[in-house]
Structures are given as structure tokens and as C-alpha cells.
Structure 1
Amino acid sequence: MDIEKTSTKHTEKNLASQDASGLRRLDSRYVDNYHGVHLKTILVYIALCLVYFVQLFNVVGSGAYARNIAAAIGGASDTVWLSQAIVIVTVVLGPPASQAADYWGRKWFLVVASTFGFVGALILARANSMNQAIGGQVISSVLYIGQPILIAVASEILPRKFRPIAQGGLNLAGAAGAIVGLLAGSAFTTNNLYGWRNYWYIVTALLGASAIIIGVLYNPPPRPLQKSLTLKEKLGRLDWVAYILLAIGLTLFTIGLSWGDNPYSWSNAHVLAPLVVGACFIIVLIVHQTFLKKDGLIHHELFKNDRNFAVALGCFFADGMIFFAANNYFAFEVSVLYETSPMLVGLHFCVAFFAAVVASCSVVLITMFTKSIREPIVVSFVLFMIFYALMATADLGSAKAVWGYPVFLGIGLGWSLTYLVTAAQLSAPPHMIAVTSGILLAARSFGGSVALAIYTAIFNSSLSSKLGSGIAAAVVPLGFPPAELEQFIGALASNDQAALAHIQGVTPQIIGAGVHALQSAYLASFKGVWIAAAVFSGVTVIASCFIRNPSKDLNNHVDAPLEKEA
């Protein structure tokens, strides 16, 4: 009986201690423990920016130069997996790695992630088949499990009042990585079938350097849970059921989306089976996290402070949907309708990232003179809507105008990512900042994957209905023989001048009429994508109005200082 009383008292003491610890942790958000930014903190932040630079450099290359890889080593039908590998790994492994980083610390997750990226990029650079290239990209994609962690570290090593600036600096580095990637890649691949190898050799070198720099410079004090829990306790706190459901559900769902109309029809079993099974696993995951595991991967405490985390999560999902329209179709439209030079096509898209750099720099001024978070987020989605509305009204004579349209896209990108991350992180408990960032980025990647399937369906459906009939209507009245239409359309679509010259009945007038009809069909198909993206942007404008301005949270407290003051 005495033993039972002692045990009960001991348990109550532990619970009281935990409650007190929770109160102290909550109150610490408003403690001024800022003693200036040390050189060590600055160097670590610069190292994080370098990693972010490389991540965007790699992701831009995997989309922009996939066709160049296929032209050299074959496998054109499988190029989508060079980008989808990044999406799948980020969605499936990002949140679990972020949760584990609270128990084992941030450093080695960042170092190991960059090391995997180094190995994978080297394999891709030396690949002689598309299967090798995809395998290298799968290994390299482990790099992106470190993305939410570095976003968390950038925020927690600086005072909360600098958090928008910290995220703005990361986005500036990412935009610079995209710009350098587009320009360098264009230079490497122009008139060089294997120039893309040099691109990924650069990725290899940068990732090796970033792994070394992080390993040497970032040595934070051990986190409370890192010191207090045993290995068994740490493993027990991980949400293994959620990880399994997430991995199976999202992987199958993404595979189904990727195969839709590429190469299978949406009614084909290859598409329906992974979509349906994946959706079932996702539904089970939602039920599990909502009713059965309230302290798991999607911890219910994330939603208790205010509505900002929930709203930011939805906006991040929409942000992925919105960005992927431009990422996959803007340069495509420019190359088909307005420019033939790969360098000029790349420069068109670079305009967006130049604007993103300017927008990221302006965060400093916005933070100095105002503590507004909601207003820049709302404006960013308004700018997205303007960009897509302008692209939807473009015609074949808009070659000069489309140089300016990406400015709206770039400013929106510079602000939306910066302030949505800030809003979500300030809403979540300080000890859950890493898993918050992981869930946000997973939502954005998943949103992009879903949107890509929607846009592909819209574009392919429109193009297949307009291309053949439009070209036939343009050239048959000019005397072109209908029996040669199929060959003529194929040669036009692939811009095969040699094949065009050998088709019976072809004249310069017929070629000109056919090109105009082809461009008109493409223009109408692109317009459907832009309208869909504009609608998504408009809906998100309304949702973002519900973000709360967390002015009192932008204070001098540092969540995880690198150096302790005496």
C-alpha cells in the first residue's frame, strides 16, 4: 500500500513537472534573451543560405534540362520522374525527418542530407541511361529532407523579430540559385549534347562544400529532449503508423497522378489503381491523425494557439498548385510561341526570380517599419492572380509583353513563401518549429503534384482537340492533300524541317499557315492552364485574409541561440 502511494505521488510529481515545463516553454516565447548576433550565428546562417541555393539550383535543373538528358541517353517518356522523385521524397520523408530532428538534433540531418545529395548528383552527372539518371535523382532527393530543418534553424537561431528577414534571406538565396541554374544550364546545353553533365558536376561540388561547412560551423547546444530521452524513448515517440501510411498513400497517389495521360489514359488501371489505393491510405492517415493519434506527426497542439497554422497550411498547399503552373508551362509557352534561343527562353523565366530577389530584399524594409504579415501574403496571391490573368489574355503578338508579366509572379513568390512560413512558425509551439516546417513543405510539394496532373489534363485535352482540326482547316483549303496531314502535323509539332521538305504538296505558304494554326492551338491550350491557376490564386486570396497579424510574437526572444551568454 505504501509503495502504491509513493508511486502515485511520484507520478503526480512528474506530471506537475511536465506541466510546469510546458508553461515555462510557453512563456519563453516572450522572454528577451537577445544579446546581439554573433559571428558564429552569421556564418551558420550563410551556410544555410548556401544549402538552399544548391537545392533550388538542383530542382530547377531537373525540370528545365530533363529533355536534354533524354536527348543524350534516351528515355524521353520517363523524364517526369526526374522532378517527381524530388516531390515524392520531400512529401514522404520530410515531415518524419523534421520530427526526428527534435530528438536527435538538427546538425546531422542537414549534413547527411547534403551528403546523399552529393552522391546522387554525381551518379546523375555520370549516367548513361535514364534509369541511372532517375536512380541518381532518387538518392539526391534525400537532400530535400533537410529543407524544412534548415528553414527551422534559420528562424530559431535569430530573434523572432528578425524571422521574416531570416526567411526572406533564404528565399533570396533560393531565387539566386534558380537564376544561376537557368543561365548556367542554358550556356552548358547550347550546342552541347552532354552539357548537362557539367551542370550536375557543379551540383556535386556545391553539395560537398555545404556538407563540410555545416558539419564544421553548426554545433548547437543539445536540445532538451535530445539530452533527456533515451534511444528507446526517442524511437517510441516517433509516429511510425503515420510514416507508413504517409509513405504508401502519397507515393501511390503521386504515381497515379504522374501516369495520367503520361503514358496511360485516366481510365486505365495503371492510373486508377494507385490513385484509389493511395487515396484510401491518405484517408486512413487523416482519420488516424484526427481521432486516434492527437500527439503524432500532425500534433493537435499546432492548431491550439490560433488559426494561423491551419490557414498557412492550406495556403502553402495552394501555393504549390499555383507555382507549378508557371514552373512547367511558362518557359514551354515562350519556347513554342515567342523564342527559339534556349538562352532567351531561360532569361524570360529568370525575370521572375530577379523580381523574387527584389521582393525578398524588401522584406527588410517591411519588417523595419511594420509588423504586418497578413497584408504581404494577401498581396502576393493577388499578384499571382494578376500574372495568370495576363498570361490568359496573351496572344501571338505578345512577345514583348511576356517579358514583363513574370515580375508579378516573382514578387508574389518572394513574399508568399517568406510570410507564410513566418506565420505558421509563430503560430506553432517553439519546440515544434521543425515539424511545422516539414508539414508545410510537404503540403506545398503535394499541392504541386496534384496541380501538375490537373494542368496536364487541361493542356493535353485542349491540344488534342484543337491541333489536328486547326491545322487541317488552315492548310486543306490551300490545296494541301488530306492524305499527308498526319505526317505534316507530326513534322510541324516536332519542328522537323527536313521532314517537312519531303512531304508532297508542301509550299512555304502552307508551312506558314500550318505554323500559325499550330501556335493558335498551343495558345488556346496554355490559356486553359492559366485560367485554372488564376482561379486557384483568387480562392487563396480570400483564404489568406484570415491570417492573423502576430505582432506581439515578433519580439527579441531567440528560440535556440547558438551561444550561451555568461
Structure 2
Amino acid sequence: MFTKDIDHSRKDDVVLENEKADDGNLVYSDAETEPDLHLRTYVAVASMFLLNYVQIIALTGTPVVLSSIAAAVNGTKTETWIPNSLSLVQAVFCPVIASASDVFQARKVILVVTCLTSFVGSAIAPGSHSLARIVSAQTLIGFGFAAVPLAYSVPSEILPRKWRAMTQALLNVAASLAAVSAPLIIGGLTSAYPQNGWRYFYWIQAGIWGLTAIGIFFGYTPPSRHTRLDHMSLLQKIGQLDLIGAFLLAAGLSLILFAVTSGGELYPWRSARIVATLVVGLVVFAGFFVYEWRGTATGILHHDLFKGGKNRGRTFVLCVFLIMMEGCLLFSYIIFYPVLTVDLYETDSFLLASRIVPFWIACGICTSIYGYTAVRLSSIRPGLAIGFLIFTAGIVGLATLEPNDSTSAIVFVALAGIGFAAPLILIITGVQLSTPHSLIATATAVTTSARAIAATTFTAIFSAALGDRLRVYIPQYVGDAVGRAGLPSTSIPAFIAAFTENDQNALRIVKGVTPSIIQAATMALKQADADGLRVVYIIAASFGAVACLACFFLGDLSMEMDYRVDAPVEELQAKRHERSKA
């Protein structure tokens, strides 16, 4: 029921419940009184919980057995394109999807369609025998992952603003469950079926995407909402989407990513192909920012997001910066910790997965603590600073690992997981509280796109830095070790070539090879891998330290953390016991 005929002489005692906002949309505007939520709201939240689960299944499963997938599709040298294709789609299409959900007021339709697109991609992936097909499949799956802004925004706008940190924490529990189950599933399948295990994983993923689409279709039933663009035709509304900005962003990122991924691997860094691609990519990427600054005020980087002073515009900018730092730290773990584990400690796919899950278990346990603390303190600053500090400490620990530090690796991973439990949920909370509700999806999209840009960029940087080191360390370390073990100097070049390619037939004909020499080479290779991978975590930890300091410049959001509900899916009333107190 809607509040009418308010006695303004007693306005302090009136409990405002459901009202029509100026645009005619349903809102709950009583900032002081907790609303009474019903099954319809909780079912909608549950559908978003499932969406978060499958999105993280898609993100975290593939990297665990990336080398196996790359070998199966003959794409070992460019294997980072397999996970990066998903993140690139997110970076480019997040803002477009979020903007379309606002322009057309079609959150539900967009969510269902993107889930079905991911379902198709997951069904295409199992038949992949070429890099092009698996990357194409991952690209389609990326459209479901690109709906992340809506997965974060919908629960926040249908529940009280005061609970946003806790709401995001519960969504992160879903993500943690997915991040625990995905490595175990794909690792177990690949261990049992070395050639086709990862293909079965994609079929499982397809089933979950299909179930999610059905769950959202029946579970998320928002009332019709209106915007200032309702009077426009379909073509006019499409014209409101920032397609130019999306094109510039896609073109620039794709060119930059190709250059930094291929440089040193497929082509020399100084080759005209790499230099030209990188320069053009940087120019186009810079053109995106110029266009967003001077060419449009309502594009991907909507100018209203940057207004409002310390507690709004500046806080939003800092949150975007912090999510990029979080992406840097997270993807140093997601992409390269499995590589480290295989190279140094464990090659069995299932046991490899079991060494990954402590990070996500720690995250799942601690994320609700950070969310609850933010609600109680009405502040995201303390939790963010502590979380980034612990996360960075865990990454520093990974940078110190040696081939015999198997147990320490698990401890540092768990420590990093405790820290990771804070940044994502509190940054998203800060973004959504520091921007107008009319831009909540757009603001969340900019944030998740920034994270995806950081993820793809830093993954490429990490890969390039690691590749450069290993090309020097492996022949140097192995050559020195086998020389000390007694291999004739004339045999060392042939031995290194055969050993690094794991060519057993070639090894047998190398003069002077003995079991002790092979053992010495194996230990030297592990040390080279350890010293090479160290650079990834040194780079990541440096940015983590910067993030710790940046947290203290965030604004005060306590005034925004109240019981208002911006877009309820049902008519809400104040809880009776709260009403009686008033």
C-alpha cells in the first residue's frame, strides 16, 4: 500500500513505506525503519546467488588445467587467450549490458539472454580441437560473465542500502563455493580422464548456465519500471547506448592484449608486427578516454559518476582504482598459482585442485565477517585496508617460495584468501553507495570492466615477464647443473634442447647422460621455474602495497547506509515491532 494524505504537522512520527518516486517507480523510502521482506524478495536474491555461482565456475575452472586444454587444441604458446577471451568480453560489454538494462529497463531479459548465450558457448567448447574454437566458446561464455554488474546490482537495489556490504558478502560466499567446487570438479575429471576431462567440465557448466537461466526467468520478477527515455522509439533508445565508446574500448584492448601476449612468444618484441600493434592499440585506447571526456557526457564513463566531491565522485574513482589493484592481485593467483603448483609441487590434476581451494575456503569463511563489520561500523575503510594488507602479505609469501616449500605454499594461499574476502565486496558496496541509483548498474559495470581490464592487462604483463625470465633461467640453471654433475660440455646444448622439450628419444642419444644428471637437471628446472615465477608476485605485491595506502582516502559513506530500498520487487512495509517503537 502507498502512503497518502500525510499529516505534515506530525511528519516526524510518520512511517513512510512504499511510495512512488518522481519517475513513478516503486521505492521504500523510510530510512530509519527496517522493511519487512517476503518470499518474493528472497527468491530473487537466490537466483542472483546462483548466477554468481556459475559466473565464478566459468572464471576459475579453466585456469586449473589450462596447460592440458592448450595442449589438446595446439595452443600452448598462446594459452593465455583462453581465459583472457572471457575477461576481455567482460571488459568490453559490461558497460553496454548495464547501460542497456537501464535504458530498456530490461534487467531480467538481459540476464536470461546472456545466460543462454553462455549455455551455447559451454556446449560448443567440448568439441574444440583448435585454439580458435575454444576461444570462440570462451567468448560466448564471456557474455554471461559480462552480466556481473547486474548480478551485483540487483540484490543491492532490492534490499536495504544498509545491508549492501552484507549482501555482497553473501554473493561472495556463492563465488567462493564456486571457486572451491570448480577446481575440484575439473581437476578430478582431468585426473580421471586426462584427454577429455576438461570437455566433460564444460558440459557440466552448460547445465548450470541453463539452470540459472530458468531460475532467473521464474525467480526474479521485478515490477515494471520507468525512465526518462520511455517516450523514445527502439532505435532512439539504441542510440543512447555508447556504441562508439564500446568499439574504441574493444579495439584498443584487443590490440594491446595481442601485442603483449604475442611479444616474445610468437614474434620478437622489437618486430614491426608487435610494435605497430601495440602503438595502434595504445592510441585507440587513449582515444576511448578522450571520447568519453569530450565526445559524450552520458557514455560508459558517465560524467555524473565523477561528481559530488569526496564522499561521492572521489570515492567512486578510488574504488575503481582499488578494484584494478584487486584484479592484479587476484589474477596473479588465479592464473599463475596453478602453474607454480604444477612446476614445483604437484602434477596430478585433482591434487592440484585441492591445493587451490584453501584460498577460497578462507575467503568464504571470512567474507561475511568483513560484510558484517562494515554494516556495524557504517564504513568500508577499515575492512578494505585490513583486507588488502593481508591479501598483499599472502602474495609476498608466494614470492618467497622455493621448490621444497610445499606446506608454506598452502599457508600463504590461505592467508591471501583471508585478505581477498574483503576488497571485492567492500569496493562494490562503496561504488553503489557513492553513485545515484539511476546509475547503479552503470557504475558497477565501470568497476567490473576496470577489474577485467586490469586482469587481462596484468595477466599479459605477468606472462611476458615470466616468459622473459624463463628463457634465460632454464638454459642457464639446467646447463650449470648438468655441467657440475659431469655431463661433457659438448653435450650440454643438445641435452638442454631435449630435456626442455621432454624428448625422451633425443635424451637417450646425448653422450654422457646418466640418471644422476637427469635428476640434477630436474632440480635445476624446478629452481628456474621458482625464480621465474617470483617476478609475477613481486609485481603484484607492489600494487597491493599502493592499494593499502589508497584505502585511507575513501570518503565517509555512513549517511548512505540506511534502510531505504531503491528498487523493491514487492510492496514493502515497516516491520511491526519497529513501527510500534516509533
TM over 0.5: yes
C-alpha change, 1:134 and 1:296, in structure 2 (3 Å) is closer
Superposed displacement of residue 498, structure 1? 6.3
1:336 and 1:519 in contact (8 A); partners too: yes
1:172 and 1:414 in contact (8 A); partners too: no
Matched with 1:67 is: 67
Superposed displacement of residue 448, structure 1? 1.3
Superposed displacement of residue 29, structure 1? 7.2
Superposed displacement of residue 527, structure 1? 1.7
Superposed displacement of residue 116, structure 1? 0.2
2:262 and 2:274 in contact (8 A); partners too: yes
C-alpha change, 1:498 and 1:52, in structure 2 (3 Å) is farther
Query: For 1:76 and 1:465, how far apart are their aligned partners in 2?
Result: 19
Matched with 2:16 is: none
2:395 and 2:537 in contact (8 A); partners too: yes
2:337 to 325, 330, 336: 330
Q: Secondary structure at the match of 1:225?
A: coil
Q: Secondary structure at the match of 2:406?
A: coil
Query: For 1:404 and 1:497, how far apart are their aligned partners in 2?
Result: 36
List aligned pairs for 1:23-422, cutoff 5 A. 31=31, 35-105=35-105, 106-192=107-193, 193-225=195-227, 228-231=230-233, 232-305=235-308, 306=312, 307-367=314-374, 369-422=376-429
Query: For 1:455 and 1:85, how far apart are their aligned partners in 2?
Result: 16
Q: Secondary structure at the match of 1:151?
A: helix
Query: For 1:68 and 1:283, how far apart are their aligned partners in 2?
Result: 37
Pick the structure with more helix per residue: 1
C-alpha change, 1:123 and 1:174, in structure 2 (3 Å) is same
- TM-score in terms of structure 1 length: 0.91
Query: For 1:174 and 1:374, how far apart are their aligned partners in 2?
Result: 23
Query: For 2:320 and 2:73, how far apart are their aligned partners in 1?
Result: 40
C-alpha change, 1:391 and 1:78, in structure 2 (3 Å) is closer
Q: Percent identity?
A: 28
2:363 and 2:420 in contact (8 A); partners too: yes
Superposed displacement of residue 261, structure 1? 2.4
Deviating more after overlay: 389-398 vs 551-560: 389-398
Amino acid at match of 2:132: N
C-alpha change, 1:363 and 1:381, in structure 2 (3 Å) is closer
Query: For 1:29 and 1:485, how far apart are their aligned partners in 2?
Result: 76
Matched with 2:548 is: 541
Matched with 2:446 is: 439
Amino acid at match of 2:227: L
Matched with 1:6 is: none
Matched with 1:455 is: 462
C-alpha change, 1:534 and 1:43, in structure 2 (3 Å) is same
Q: Secondary structure at the match of 1:400?
A: helix
Query: For 2:306 and 2:473, how far apart are their aligned partners in 1?
Result: 48
Amino acid at match of 1:208: G
Deviating more after overlay: 112-121 vs 50-59: 50-59
Superposed displacement of residue 91, structure 1? 1.0
Is 1:517 aligned to 2:524, yes or no?
yes
1:102 and 1:226 in contact (8 A); partners too: no
Amino acid at match of 1:116: T
Query: For 1:206 and 1:226, how far apart are their aligned partners in 2?
Result: 36
Deviating more after overlay: 205-214 vs 448-457: 448-457
1:57 and 1:181 in contact (8 A); partners too: yes
C-alpha change, 1:516 and 1:303, in structure 2 (3 Å) is same
Superposed displacement of residue 110, structure 1? 0.4
C-alpha change, 1:501 and 1:357, in structure 2 (3 Å) is farther
Amino acid at match of 1:299: H
Unaligned residue ranges in structure 1 (runs of 5+): 1-20
C-alpha change, 1:128 and 1:517, in structure 2 (3 Å) is closer
Deviating more after overlay: 470-479 vs 419-428: 470-479
C-alpha change, 1:70 and 1:528, in structure 2 (3 Å) is closer
Query: For 1:435 and 1:504, how far apart are their aligned partners in 2?
Result: 65
Superposed displacement of residue 173, structure 1? 0.7
Query: For 1:47 and 1:565, how far apart are their aligned partners in 2?
Result: 20
Query: For 1:70 and 1:457, how far apart are their aligned partners in 2?
Result: 17
Superposed displacement of residue 238, structure 1? 2.1
Deviating more after overlay: 319-328 vs 418-427: 319-328
C-alpha change, 1:364 and 1:384, in structure 2 (3 Å) is closer
Query: For 1:303 and 1:31, how far apart are their aligned partners in 2?
Result: 25
2:190 and 2:350 in contact (8 A); partners too: no
Superposed displacement of residue 334, structure 1? 1.8
Superposed displacement of residue 31, structure 1? 4.2
Superposed CA deviations along residues 250-303 of structure 1, whole A, max 9, x for unmatched, are: 222222222222322222233222221121122122122223322322111112
Q: Secondary structure at the match of 1:224?
A: coil
Query: For 2:504 and 2:192, how far apart are their aligned partners in 1?
Result: 18
Superposed displacement of residue 477, structure 1? 3.2
C-alpha change, 1:78 and 1:394, in structure 2 (3 Å) is closer
Amino acid at match of 1:194: N
Query: For 1:299 and 1:73, how far apart are their aligned partners in 2?
Result: 41
Superposed CA deviations along residues 380-403 of structure 1, whole A, max 9, x for unmatched, are: 211122112212222233111111
- TM-score in terms of structure 2 length: 0.89
C-alpha change, 1:323 and 1:565, in structure 2 (3 Å) is closer
Query: For 1:532 and 1:518, how far apart are their aligned partners in 2?
Result: 22
Amino acid at match of 2:64: A
Amino acid at match of 2:326: D
Superposed CA deviations along residues 6-39 of structure 1, whole A, max 9, x for unmatched, are: xxxxxxxxxxxxxxx88999x9877458532221
Query: For 2:60 and 2:277, how far apart are their aligned partners in 1?
Result: 27
Is 1:468 aligned to 2:468, yes or no?
no
Query: For 2:497 and 2:192, how far apart are their aligned partners in 1?
Result: 24
1:33 and 1:558 in contact (8 A); partners too: no
Query: For 1:78 and 1:457, how far apart are their aligned partners in 2?
Result: 11
Superposed CA deviations along residues 317-346 of structure 1, whole A, max 9, x for unmatched, are: 121112111122212112211223322221
Amino acid at match of 2:171: L
1:467 and 1:521 in contact (8 A); partners too: yes
Q: How many residues align?
A: 546
Query: For 1:76 and 1:49, how far apart are their aligned partners in 2?
Result: 35
Query: For 2:131 and 2:294, how far apart are their aligned partners in 1?
Result: 43
Q: Secondary structure at the match of 1:219?
A: coil
C-alpha change, 1:459 and 1:76, in structure 2 (3 Å) is closer
Query: For 2:438 and 2:494, how far apart are their aligned partners in 1?
Result: 63
Query: For 2:100 and 2:302, how far apart are their aligned partners in 1?
Result: 14
Superposed displacement of residue 134, structure 1? 2.0
List aligned pairs for 1:5-20, cutoff 5 A. none
Superposed CA deviations along residues 409-437 of structure 1, whole A, max 9, x for unmatched, are: 11222110000000011001111000111
C-alpha change, 1:107 and 1:226, in structure 2 (3 Å) is farther
CA RMSD of aligned residues (A): 2.4
Amino acid at match of 1:217: G
